[in-house]
Structure 1
Amino acid sequence: MFDRSKNKPAGTPTKGRDSAHTSAVSPSPSSVRSVVMIGSSIIIKGEVTGDEDILIEGRVEGVINLNGNQVSIGESGDVSADIQASVIKIDGTVTGDICASEKVVISKSGNVSGNIVAPRVMLEDGAIFKGSIDMDPAGIAPKEAPLTSQQPANSAATPMTSPGLDLKSV
């Protein structure tokens, strides 16, 4: 009866005390991902593992293994480690090999010295990269099989005939 936002489109703020409750729609709990930040004054030596996304603004030396998660190296981040994750985004400096199951992105402020293995790699204009890139980590792309190997396994026992052709008389 007194709801002024009743005829307004969803997400439109209303005046008065209810405006905080009608702002943006919050994402569902299943789409919210936890992100851990390593601050610019933090130094980690060793192995970093876990089940959360990570943003590194500090220094990490060793191994970063966050399969299924995202690793982001901030502009002040300095990593001397091999990195394995689902998605790897680099705005800072990385020395080490990088392996991503989805993609690697090196921004214009990124500096990478090491090898990259990922199905998708993006180097922004201005990015610095020294190493090799392998975008077919499974090996050589499948080739078409020769015609002879496409026949059924029992094809030698089954004679090939055409309608009206009698093999006994040939």
Structure 2
Amino acid sequence: MSATKINDGKVAVELLLPFLIYKFIIGSDPSTGEYNMRLLWQKVGYLAKQVGMPLSEYQFKWYLRGPYSSAYTSVLYDIDQNTNELHEQEKQFNLNDTAQAVLLPLKEMGNNKPSDMSLPIWFELLASIQYLNKGSKLTPDELFIKLERYKPQFNNKYHFDLAYQQLKIGKLL
């Protein structure tokens, strides 16, 4: 699948906005090269949508590794095909101050990951907790039990408590 391009060679905003969001939060370009980088792409996109970024066209559903959108994966592959054009547009366009302020808590969550977790796994934990808590009135202990049931690999209460605290600070819980 190739990206929709505007006549003058610019990449469509459907690629530029997710690219800029990811780059602001993570500090590097998104990548299709490794599974964990594609996982990180998904979780950053999901959480960015939850804080109010205009990504409503992407429907995230529960999957084995937490919230997932096949359409958002397609965007990543389109970005991979248009990296040079995106870098050119990045020189002219950036996220405004309001968007950066909205995304800053996600960036800080990434900076506050436990030293014994990779960034993709940390964002998987954050996104999974947020997704499983949506619309519920679970206590933190009940949410931890629910998380363990869906994702037994996240059985470390310290990691859960840290992620829960970060999500509360970021107003995602």
Which has more radius of gyration? 1
TM-score (norm 1): 0.19
TM-score by length of 2: 0.19
Greater helix content:
2
The structure, 1 or 2, with the larger RCO (C-alpha pairs under 8 Å, 6+ apart) is: 2
